[in-house]
Amino acid sequence: MIVAMQERATEEDIQGVIERLVQVGFNVHRTTGAVQTVLAGVGTPSHFDHKDFELLSGVAEVVRITSPYKLAGRGFRPEGTIVRFPNGVAVGGDEIVVMAGPCSVESREQIFTIADQVKSAGASFLRGGAFKPRSSPYSFQGMGLDGLKLLREVGDRTGLLIISEVMEISQIDLMLPYVDVLQVGARNMQNFNLLREIGLVRKPVLLKRGIAATLEELLLSAEYILAGGNYDVMLCERGIRTFETYTRNTMDISAIPVIKKLSHLPMLADPSHGVGRRDKVAPMARAAVAAGCDGLLIEVHPNPDKALSDGAQSLFPEQFDQLMDQLRIIATAVDRNIRAEIPVI
């Protein structure tokens, strides 16, 4: 940590700051300039808030140098993490994976139909919500356990891996037998109790960035899961909130190369939630692959006009097919590939 003193700081001010730095566990190196003194605190004290130093007498600025996450940082695994599944699918390697399906599981017929469609287009994962977080208490809230059972059944039949969102600690145990990936939604990115419990489970997790979360905060939330011993964490950009209102959110495509540099974890993108309008999903999916993402989450519905939730951002199956063809070309430009169709094992 660096503490830059004000130009008019007295020697007493400086000694006060040095004492406080030593107190919390730093070794202190002092640089006395012509106009300004700078103190560098070296070491790794466990418990302190760097903002406390900003208010000490004579302090001009305080800068934390080392990143507050350890396990999520690229330095922990410089070669990168690959999350591997029993059927041979791997996230974070040469292949770009696609997770597709409806916003919510609505019926047996709906989920079986769409599973076949996304599989034949090249998806490896089937996504579908059983529990739905809705901003209005008067909206459809999901099929619950019945939805989970349908997902497992269709996963076993098609070979597609199943990903579904967990919203509550009490849902974790309930979901484990039915899903291959636990998804943590944007609104729960800083639900630290939930993250801690998920860290104790041995099941891959997809953690979405909150709409107002910095990339550092995303990595700190991943750290909660990793700290519990669950290392199979995938991250996902899904749009941040900005002043622009034409799109529901502003999808931060640059988050992809930034996270790939800062962290070893796979980084995916969810263009459906990122823009919230069907006709913008394909351009943003292409952009995410071009920018280097490890995978995509895409909402596809057999009949979007009749969807019980998020129909406006769901692709028609034929649009998804066409998009996958474009993505295969783009993947080659970044030395990656996308499979044609997942084999049944």
Q: Which is nearer to a copy of itself, 22 or 227 (CB)?
A: 227
Cα 76 to chain centroid, rounded: 18
Work out whether 214 is an interface residue with a copy of itself (CB under 8 A): yes
Restricted to residues 54-113, the positions that interact with a copy of itself (CB under 8 A) are: 54-55, 60-61, 63, 65-66, 68-69, 75
Encoded tokens for 90: 């791997």
**Closest approach of Cβ 311 to a copy of itself, in Å?**
5
* Binding track over 21-60 against a copy of itself, x by CB under 8 A: ------x-x-x-xxxx-x-x-xxx-xx-x-xx-xx----x
Can residue 337 be called a binding residue for a copy of itself (CB under 8 A)?
no
Integer Cα distance of 43 and 66 in angstroms: 10
Evaluate whether 226 touches 233 at the Cβ level (below 8 Å).
yes
- Of the pair 89, 205, the CB lying nearest a copy of itself is at 205
CB of 256 to a copy of itself, least distance (A): 7
181 to 200, contacts with a copy of itself by CB under 8 A? Answer: 187-188, 190-193, 196
- What is the rounded distance in angstroms from the CA atom of residue 27 to the CA atom of residue 58? 20
For 276, how many CA atoms within 13 A lie in the half-sphere containing its CB? 10
**Tokens representing residue 135 in the block:** 């901003």
- Asked whether the beta carbons of 162 and 129 are under 8 A apart, the reply is no
Among 58, 129, 210, 317, contact with a copy of itself (rule: CB under 8 A): 210
* Smallest distance, a copy of itself to C-beta of residue 28, A: 9
Using CB under 8 A as the binding rule, whether residue 287 contacts a copy of itself is answered as yes
Strand partners, 41: 28
DSSP one-letter code for 153: H
Q: How far is the CB of 64 from a copy of itself (least distance, A)?
A: 9
Shorter beta-carbon distance to a copy of itself: residue 154 or 307: 307
Q: Nearest CA to 280 among 242, 241, 239?
A: 239
If one asks whether residue 217 binds a copy of itself (CB under 8 A), the answer comes out as yes
Encode 34-48: b = buried (16+ Cβ within 10 Å), e = exposed: eeebbbbbeeeeeeb
Which residue number, 61 or 318, has a Cβ lying nearer to a copy of itself?
61
Q: Which of 13, 116, 153, 168 binds a copy of itself (CB under 8 A)?
A: 168
Residue number, 79 or 135, with CB nearest to a copy of itself: 135
- Is 127 or 132 the residue whose CB approaches a copy of itself more closely? 132
Among 105, 143, 151, 289, binds a copy of itself (CB under 8 A): 289
Burial of 343 (0-12, 13-18, 19+ CB in 10 A): exposed
Could you give the string, one character per residue 226-265, with x where binding to a copy of itself holds by CB under 8 A and - elsewhere? -x------------xxxxxxxx--xxxxxxxxx--x----
Q: Give the C-alpha separation, 163 to 89, whole Å.
A: 14
Count of Cβ atoms closer than 10 Å to residue 84 Cβ: 14
∠ CA 278-283-285 to the nearest 5 degrees?
90
